[in-house]
Structure 1
Amino acid sequence: MVAGPDVSAQTSPPAATPLPDTLSAAVEEEETVFYTSDRITYDIGDSTLVLTGNAVLKYDNITLKAGEVRFNTLTEMLTADRLPDSVGVAPEANLEPTLEDSEGTLVGARMQYSLKTRRGRILDGRTQYEEGFFEGRQLRIENENSLHIHIGSYTTCDRPEHRHYWLKVGKAKILRDDKAILKNVTAYVYGVPVFYLPFYILPLKRGRHSGFTVPTYGSGVTEGTYIRNLGCYWAASDYWDLRLTGDVESARGFLLKPYLRYAKAGRTNGSVGGSYQSSFGLKPTGWDIAANHWQELRPDLKVRGQAQFASRLSFVHGTTRGNDPTRLQSSLRSSFSLDKNWDQKSLNLSVSESSPTGKPVRPTTSLSFRLPSRPLFAPPQRRRTGGMPDFGASRNTDKRLWYQSILLGYNGSLRDQKQSTGTRQDIVNQFNGSSQQTAGGWFHFGPQGSYSETWFRQTGKGFDRQNAYNVGVQANTTLYGLFRTRIGRLQDVRHVMTPSVSFSQAGPRNASRSASFGLSNILQARTEHEDKTQKFDLLFVNLSSAYNFKAKTRPWSDINASVRVPANKVNVDGNLTYDLYRPVVQTFRRPWLKTASLNTSINLTGERSASTETFAGAFSSAQNVGSTGFGGSGSYGSDRFDENFDRIKGPWSVSLSHRYSVGRVKPDTSFSTSSHVVSALNRFDLDSLTGLFGLSNPVTAKWRVEHAFNYDVRRKTIVSHSFNFHRSLHCWELYFRWTPTGFNKGIYFRINIIAIPEIKIEQQRSSN
C-alpha cells in the first residue's frame, strides 16, 4: 500500500485523490511506501507519482531524497533529479538526489532505482566506505552488496576542493564489507600521475584482507641487485589464506615463494609453503617444500606432523633470508606423531626423519606412555546410598593422613633409531615418587625420588642395560615478625622469613651428591588513612648457596645475595656474590665480596587528555602474514622496520635505566668496573611538550618523537643512539629515523598514504 501525508499538510494537494488501486497493487501487500514533499501530483495516464520540493520517499530500509522524485507504480521504477533553477523550487527544497540504506549512502546528479529488482543507476555519483571516498561518472547498483563504477576515482583525502592524492580507475567493483576491485588504476599525487597498475584489490573490511605485499629492494654480493617480496596476499576466507610472492635477483634469476595457511579454531591448523628458483633462461636451479599440520580428531586424540623436502640442503640455506648463518639447520627434518589422552594418562607415537643430504633415511620411531603422579593411597570418597550422599561420613576433607600424600608416577618408552654406526633399540622404564608432608603445622618437608631402567640393543654390541636413580628431600618453614610502629599512616611492619634446605643424590653413573641452602626475606607494611587500609611490599632480600659433597676442591659454592626494592615507577635491584675461598690455594676462609651489581630504572608516563589522539601509524598494527594468528587486526604486508614507538599510552613517556657492576679477583685488591651502562628511551609529542611551557607551536604540532640512547660509561663510547620522527600529514604520514652512531648507523625516510601504506616513497642509507 501507499501512505501519503495528510492533504491538509500539503502546500499543493495531489491532482487526483483518492489514489487509484493500481498503486497499492504495485508493491507487496505487507510493505508500504511512505512519501512526503512540498507538492504531490499523480499522472493517471503514466501511472506516475511526482514528488516536487523536499521530496522524501521511504520503502523498506531505503530512503530516497531529491528535489524531484518520480515513482512509476506499474514498473516500480524511481527516478530522482535535482531540478534546474528555472523550475522555481526554492534552493533549500531542491535537494541533491541521495539514496540511503542500512549499508551506506549514495549521492549523484540523477538516479534511477527499481524497487522490484533492487537495481539502479546513478550519474555523476559518489559514496563513502569507511574512510574512503568513491566517485564515478556512472554508478550501477547490481544488488544490495555490489556496486559498479565506470570511469571514477578513489581517495581517503576528505578535502574535495583540494585532493592530496587519488586513484583514477577505469572500472571498479565494490563488494560491501569485503573489498573493491579496481581496474586500470593510475595514481595521482597533487594532480601528477606517478604510477599505473592494471588492477588493484582494495580491502574494505578490518582484520586480514587481500592486497599486494610490500616489496623491498637492494643489492648484495651473492644475489646482485634484487627486488624481493613482490606479490600479493589473498585472504580467501576466515579459514584459509594464500600468499604468493617472488624475488628477482640479477645474479640468480627468479624465486617463486607460495605459502598457504589454513585453520579452524580448536580443530585443525597447518601450512604448506616452499620456493622454486630458476635462471632468467627458465632453467630450474632448486626447489624446496615445507608443510606442517595439526588436527584434533577427538577431544582425546590429536595428530601432528611436519615435512620438509628440497633438491639440496644448500638451496634451503641460500633462500633463508635474514637468518644467522650459524643457526641454519643442518638437515631436512620430517616427523609425525599421534597423541592419545585418557583419565590423565597419555600415549604418544612418533616417527621422525632427519636427512643431512635430502635423501631418504631410516626414520626414528618411538612409543611412549605417561602415567602422571597420583596418590598411592587415595583418601576415601564420600559414599552414596541409594543415589544420595552419606551425610553421616566425616566432612573434614582437608585433613589427610600422612601416607595419603605419597604420589607415584610412571613413564615408559620404546625407541628404534638409526645411528652413524648402525641401529639401536631402547626400552626405558622410569618410576617417580614424591610426597609433601607437614609437621606441627609449621615445618614442611618433601622427599622425592626416581628410578629408571634402560634395556637396549645396539649393532655390534648386543644387549645391555643401564640404571639410574635420583633421591632427595627439601624442607622449609616460614617465620613471621610483626612490629607495631604507629608512625603517621604507617601502622605495622611485618618481616616474613623463609629458610629452606634441600639435599639430592644421583647415581650410579654420573654420581653426584649436593645440598643447597636458601633464605628468603620479605619486608611488608600496612598503612591506614581515612578508614582505608593498604598493604604493600617494601623490600625483598634473598640469600642462597650450595655444597657439593663430591667436589675435591671448593665444595662450597658462592653465596649469592639479591636485593629488590619494588615501586610503581622506580625499580632498584642489587646483586652481591661472596666467595668463601682464598684464591690460588683454594682454602676455606670468611666470605669476601667478589662481584656486585646495581640496576636502577625509572619509568614515567604523562596522563592523556581527552583530546590527545591515539598514537598509531599505518604500520603500528601490521601483522606478518607468515604468523599463525588468524582473524586479528593486521595487514597483508610486513614492515621491514619495527616502528612500535607510535604506540605511546600518553602524550609523553620517559624510561631511564642505569646498570653498574664491579668485581675483583682477590680479597685484598680493589674493585674494577666490569660494566657501566646508561640507557634512555624518551617518547613524546612536541605539541604537548611545548604546551608545558606555554609556547605556541604551529611548526611542531602533530610531530611525535622518540629518542633512544645507550652509553657505555666504562668504555666511554655510545653503543647506540637514534632519533625517530613521525608526523601526520592529513591523509599521508611521514616517518624519519636517524641513527648517528652504532651498528645501524644511517638514515631511513618514508612518506606513505595512511589508508594504503603500500603507496609510499622510502629511502634508506646505512653503514651496513
Structure 2
Amino acid sequence: MRTNLFHTVLLSIFLCMVCCTAQSQEIRNRKPAVPAVKQADSTKLPSVQLPVAGNVAITDTIKPAVDTIKPKKKGLDGIVKRKATDYEKIDQKKKELTLYNEAELYYKDIELKAGVIIMNYEKDEVYAGRIKDSLGNYSQYPYFKQGANVVEADSIHFNTVTKKARVWNSRTDQGEFRVKAEITKKENDSVIFMKNAIFTTSKNIDNPEYYFKASKIKLVPGQKVVVGPTNMWIANVPTPLGIPFAFFPTSDKAESGLLVPSYGDSNNRGYYLQNGGYYLALSDYYDLSVTGDYYTNGSYGLRFQSDYAKRYSFNGNVNIRFENLVTSERGLPDYARTKNYNIQWSHSQDSKANPNSRFSASVNLGSSTYYRQSINTANVGSSLNNTLQSSVSYSKTFQTVPQVNISLSATHSQNTNTKVINMTLPTLQASVDRIFPFAPADAPKKGFIKNINLQYNLRGENRILTTDSLFFKPEMFRDARSGLQHTIPLSTNFKIFKYFSVSAGTNYQETWVMNTIDKSVVNDTVVTKDVKGFDAFRTYNFSSSIGTTIYGTFNFGEDKKIQAIRHVMRPSVSYSYTPSFEKYYDTYQLDNTGTQYKEYTRFEGGIFGAPGLGYSNNIGLSVNNTFEAKVRNDDENAKDSEPKKVMLLNNLNFTTSYNIAADSLAWSPLRVSAGTNLFKEKMNINFGATLDPYAIDNSGRRIDMYNIDNGGSLFRLTSANVTLNYSLSSTDGDGNKKDENSQTAKNGGRTDDLFGVGTDLSDSRQSLFKDEDEEGTEKKDKSEGGFFNAKLPWNLNLAYSLTYNNNARERRITGSSLMVSGNLDITPKWKMGFSSGYDFVQQGVTFTQLRFERDLLSWRMDFNWVPFGNNTYWGFFIGIKSSVLSDIKYDKRQVPDRAVGQ
C-alpha cells in the first residue's frame, strides 16, 4: 500500500511539471515601456501658510465636501406578501415575480387580486390580468385597491413609484357614481382620464337600467367628475337627453349648491315654482337650506332649514317657514291676502355630554291656520291636529346632601281652533331631595317615625295668555301674570296588621303673586280692576290612605286547556281634609239697596289658583283589579312544557268618593274603566263609563235623591266610551311601525297611517311607505319564486271609537267612527297603501288616501291621490333616488285649493 502511494504522488508531480511552459536560453520580445508623466492633482487644495501664535498650532478645519446623493437602491423597498393556487415563480435574471390562479399580492398600500399577476421589481411595474377556465371563459378579473380607491378591470398595468397606470374595462365607485370605462389612464393619485365611459348610480354597473355615456371623462377621486359630450341611455336605448359637458361633485364632504325647483300649476294661484333655492354646507357640524316658492298671482313662500350635530354632545334641527298667500284677483270680492308662518326646533343632548345638566327643546309654534292653508304641505294628519305645543328646558343637578335640582323652562300651548295661546316665559322649578330627620342615612327606614320625610319645592311662573293675532306684539306682555309657589310636603308610611300599607301626610303651600283684582259695581255693572303689587296667601291640607293587595287563584286542573285564573285586587281607602280659607275673601255690593252682596277673592284668576272658600272632608274609595290565566302550552316545537300566562284584563278599576262636609250630593259619580289586549296583544280594547247614583229632574239637573229611590236603577249611566285598535300583518310584528321622527309626529299628529301619510313636497325622493328593514340596508326580495307561493308583506290597522252620552236622558250616541289603513306589497317592487274610514253618526266617508309606489331600482315612482273631501289632492313623481342626480325627475301634482280662513 505504501509503495503504491509513493508512485502515485511521484506521477502527479511529473504531470504538473510537463504542463508548465519551458523556455531555454531565449528572451521574449517586450514592448517598450512608456514613461509615466506625473500629472498635477487638481483636487488638492493649495498650500496655505498659517501663522503660528506662540506655541498654539492652528489646524485647517476645511474638509473636502461629502457627496450626499445616494445611489438609487435597486430592488424592492417594501415587504411583499403573495399567494397563488397553481404556482409562484421568481426570475432573478428578469427581476420578475409571477403568480398564477387565484393570485394575491400585497405590497405597501396596494392590494391586488387576479388570475395572473406579474411584478417586475426592477422596473417597479405590475401587470394583472384574467385567465381562461377549462371552457374557455374568462374568470378571476383583477381587483385593485390602493388606499380608499377600488378598481375592477379586465387587465391592469401600473407603476408602483410614479403611480401611473393603464386599465382596460375598469369599473370603479366614486361617491354615489359607478363608472365603467373602455380605457383608463391614471396620471397620478389625483387625476384619472377615461375614454368611452359610462357612469350611473345603478348597483349593477355591467347591466344598469340607465346610464350616461360619455366619450371622455376626467375624474378627480373624492372631488369631482368632469365629462364631455354626454347622452342619457335607458335600458340600453339612447334618449334625446344630452348635454355638451357636465360637472358632478363626488366629495365625501357636503358641498354647497343650487336646488332646482319643481314647476306646475294650480287652479287659483296660477303657475308656480316650488322648492328652489340654495344649500349651504357651512361646516362639518351644521348646514343651511334656503328654499322658496313663487306663484304667478303673487303668492310666495320662504323656508330656512338647518341640521346640526356634534358627536357625543348634541344634535338638532331648526325649520322656519313663512308664506304670503294671495287669493283671487285684486278688486274682486273674494280677494284676500294672508301671512302664515311656522317655527320648529328640536334639540336633544347626548346623555354622555354632561350627567348633571341637560338642555332640550321641542318647539312647534306659528299661525293657527298654517297647516290648513300652506301651499307646500300635503299633510292631513297635521292639519287635523288642534293643538301646537312647545317646550324648551334646562335642568341641573347639584350633587350635594341632600341633592338639589333646578330647572328653567319655557312652554307654549296653542289651540288652532280658538287661536288662544298660553305661554310661560319662563318657568322656574327647584327642589330639595327628601330629608329623613329621624333616620340615620345608612340605617333601614322602618316604622312610622323613621319614615317621616319632608321636601321643599319651588315653582315660579311668568304666564302669558294671548291670541294668534297678538303673538310677538307688545300687547301680549301687557297682561302677563307672575308668581311663586312654595310647597313643603311632610309624609310618612308604615304597615299595620302586617298586610295593610298606610301613608299619611300634610302639605303646606305659600303662594306669592304680583297681580290681584278688585271688584265693584258701577251703574249696576260689575267692574273688575287689575291691581299690581305683591300679595300672598297660604293653604294647607291633610291626606292619608290605607290599602292592601289580595290574591285569588281559581284552579281548574292541569288537564284543562285553561288550568287556572289568577285575580289580583288592590282595594284602597283614602281620606283628605282641606279647611276653608274665608279670610282671603271679600264682598262687594250688588245693588244700591245694600242688601245683596257677593263674595270674591282678590286672588281670583291667579296662575296658581285661589284659596278655597268651602272646606272639604272627602273619603275616596278605589278598587283596582287584574285578571290573568294560566293556559296549557300545546305547541309541539316549544322547548319546555311550561304553561303560558295570558292577560285577560290589564285593569278593571272602580273609583268614587264621598264628601262628609257636603250637605247634599255627597257621593261623586262612580267611574269604571277597563282595558285588555287580545290575539297576541294585536288587539287593544279600552272601556270607560260614568255611573251617577243621583237622579235628575225634568230640566236635567242633579237632585239630592238617589236614582233607585226615583224609580230607576241603582246607578244612572251618564256617559260611556269604547276604543278598539287592531293591527294585523304578514309577520309576527306589530303591523305598521310608528315613525316618531316623521314630520307628522313633529307637528303633533298621529304617527300611524289612519289619517294618511304626510307628503314632503320639498323632497319627493322619500318613500311614502315605512320599510321594515333598517335604513341603509337593501330591501330583501321576499318572494320564493313562482306565482302562488310568493310572500307578499302586508299590514292592516283598524281603529273604532264609540261615545255614548246620557247626562240629561238624551240617550244619544255622539260619536261612532271606524278608521282603517293598510299597506301591501303587490310584488317585491310594487307597493300600495290606503287610509279611509266611515263616520256612522255623520253618515259619511272620512278622509281617504290612496298610495302607489314602484321601486325602479335606481329610480322611484309614486302616485298619491286623495279623491274627495276638502283636501282633494293628487301627485305623481318619477325620479332618480340618488341625491347627486335628484334634479333628474318629473314631478306633477295638483295641490288642494287652500282658501284664506279655511
Say which structure is richer in strand: 1
- 1:126 corresponds in structure 2 to 171
State whether structure 2 residue 779 is matched by structure 1 residue 644.
no
CA distance in 2, matches of 1:96, 1:116: 24
Match of 1:522 among 594, 602, 626: 626
CA distance in 1, matches of 2:130, 2:462: 84
Relative distance call for 1:237 and 1:152 in structure 2 (3 A) is farther
State whether structure 2 residue 551 is matched by structure 1 residue 485.
no
Checking the alignment, whether the CA contact within 8 Å between 2:176 and 2:201 is kept in structure 1 is: yes
Match of 1:155 among 197, 200, 218: 200
Relative distance call for 1:438 and 1:112 in structure 2 (3 A) is same
Match of 1:442 among 499, 503, 523: 499
Shift of 1:718: 1.4
Moved more, 455-464 or 557-566: 455-464
Checking the alignment, whether the CA contact within 8 Å between 2:269 and 2:296 is kept in structure 1 is: yes
State whether structure 2 residue 847 is matched by structure 1 residue 716.
no
Q: How do 1:269-280 residues align onto structure 2 when only pairs under 5 Å count?
A: 269=315
Checking the alignment, whether the CA contact within 8 Å between 1:23 and 1:73 is kept in structure 2 is: no
**2:893 partner SS:** strand
- Specify every segment of 5 or more residues in structure 1 that has no aligned partner in the other structure, as ranges: 1-21, 279-284, 354-362, 383-396, 629-634, 688-700
Shift of 1:493: 1.9
CA distance in 2, matches of 1:118, 1:480: 81
Q: Which amino acid aligns with 2:688?
A: N
Match of 1:673 among 813, 832, 840: 813
- 2:715 corresponds in structure 1 to 591
Moved more, 98-107 or 404-413: 98-107
Q: Which amino acid aligns with 1:561?
A: V
Checking the alignment, whether the CA contact within 8 Å between 2:573 and 2:620 is kept in structure 1 is: yes
CA distance in 2, matches of 1:456, 1:186: 75
- 1:345 corresponds in structure 2 to 404
Checking the alignment, whether the CA contact within 8 Å between 2:84 and 2:100 is kept in structure 1 is: no
CA distance in 2, matches of 1:626, 1:415: 28
Q: How do 1:619-658 residues align onto structure 2 when only pairs under 5 Å count?
A: 638-639=763-764, 643-644=768-769, 646-647=771-772, 651-658=793-800
- 1:631 corresponds in structure 2 to none
Match of 1:465 among 524, 531, 536: 536
**2:77 partner SS:** coil
- Specify every segment of 5 or more residues in structure 2 that has no aligned partner in the other structure, as ranges: 1-70, 325-338, 413-423, 465-475, 516-529, 582-609, 634-639, 708-713, 748-759, 774-781, 783-791, 898-902
Relative distance call for 1:229 and 1:339 in structure 2 (3 A) is farther
CA distance in 2, matches of 1:460, 1:615: 56
CA distance in 2, matches of 1:496, 1:255: 59
Shift of 1:251: 5.5
CA distance in 2, matches of 1:129, 1:621: 34
- 2:572 corresponds in structure 1 to 500
Checking the alignment, whether the CA contact within 8 Å between 2:804 and 2:815 is kept in structure 1 is: yes
* 1:673-729 deviation digits (Å, cap 9, x = unpaired): 333323333433335xxxxxxxxxxxxx74333343312233332113333333333
Q: Which amino acid aligns with 1:429?
A: H
Checking the alignment, whether the CA contact within 8 Å between 1:213 and 1:637 is kept in structure 2 is: no
Checking the alignment, whether the CA contact within 8 Å between 1:624 and 1:638 is kept in structure 2 is: no
State whether structure 2 residue 374 is matched by structure 1 residue 374.
no
Q: How do 1:212-231 residues align onto structure 2 when only pairs under 5 Å count?
A: 215-217=261-263, 225-231=271-277
CA RMSD of aligned residues (A): 5.8
Q: Which amino acid aligns with 1:443?
A: F
Q: Which amino acid aligns with 1:474?
A: S
Shift of 1:371: 0.9
CA distance in 2, matches of 1:686, 1:561: 45
- 2:158 corresponds in structure 1 to 113
Relative distance call for 1:713 and 1:27 in structure 2 (3 A) is same
- 1:432 corresponds in structure 2 to 489
Checking the alignment, whether the CA contact within 8 Å between 1:727 and 1:735 is kept in structure 2 is: yes
Shift of 1:591: 0.9
CA distance in 1, matches of 2:240, 2:457: 70
Relative distance call for 1:438 and 1:642 in structure 2 (3 A) is farther
CA distance in 2, matches of 1:423, 1:68: 83
Checking the alignment, whether the CA contact within 8 Å between 2:462 and 2:481 is kept in structure 1 is: yes
Relative distance call for 1:67 and 1:576 in structure 2 (3 A) is closer
Q: Which amino acid aligns with 1:762?
A: D
Q: Which amino acid aligns with 1:468?
A: T
Relative distance call for 1:233 and 1:502 in structure 2 (3 A) is farther
CA distance in 1, matches of 2:691, 2:342: 55
State whether structure 2 residue 519 is matched by structure 1 residue 406.
no
Q: How do 1:228-377 residues align onto structure 2 when only pairs under 5 Å count?
A: 228-231=274-277, 239-250=285-296, 258-269=304-315, 299-300=355-356, 339=396, 341-343=398-400, 344-347=403-406, 369-377=430-438
Q: Which has the larger radius of gyration?
A: 2
- 2:126 corresponds in structure 1 to 78
CA distance in 1, matches of 2:874, 2:761: 26
Shift of 1:471: 3.5
Percent identical among aligned pairs is 21
Moved more, 476-485 or 656-665: 656-665
Match of 2:643 among 500, 522, 533: 533
Q: Please, what TM-score do these two structures have when normalized by structure 2?
A: 0.60
CA distance in 1, matches of 2:871, 2:242: 32
CA distance in 2, matches of 1:626, 1:242: 22
Match of 2:728 among 585, 604, 614: 604
Match of 2:889 among 760, 765, 768: 760
Moved more, 422-431 or 732-741: 422-431
CA distance in 2, matches of 1:544, 1:636: 49
CA distance in 1, matches of 2:190, 2:495: 70
Moved more, 216-225 or 730-739: 216-225
**2:672 partner SS:** strand
Checking the alignment, whether the CA contact within 8 Å between 1:623 and 1:638 is kept in structure 2 is: no
* 1:192-216 deviation digits (Å, cap 9, x = unpaired): 14476954446879xx999886855
Q: Please, what TM-score do these two structures have when normalized by structure 1?
A: 0.69
Q: Between Structure 1 and Structure 2, how many residues are aligned?
A: 678
Relative distance call for 1:479 and 1:222 in structure 2 (3 A) is same
**2:450 partner SS:** helix
Shift of 1:82: 8.4
- 1:18 corresponds in structure 2 to none
The higher-RCO structure (CA 8 Å, 6+ apart) is 2
CA distance in 1, matches of 2:873, 2:319: 35
* 1:103-156 deviation digits (Å, cap 9, x = unpaired): 575244664422235553435532247985312355455777996767743224
Shift of 1:565: 3.7
Relative distance call for 1:43 and 1:566 in structure 2 (3 A) is closer
Relative distance call for 1:426 and 1:251 in structure 2 (3 A) is same
State whether structure 2 residue 862 is matched by structure 1 residue 735.
yes
CA distance in 2, matches of 1:733, 1:258: 27
CA distance in 2, matches of 1:754, 1:490: 54
State whether structure 2 residue 648 is matched by structure 1 residue 560.
no
CA distance in 1, matches of 2:744, 2:456: 42
Q: Which amino acid aligns with 2:536?
A: R
Shift of 1:345: 0.5
Q: Which amino acid aligns with 2:291?
A: T
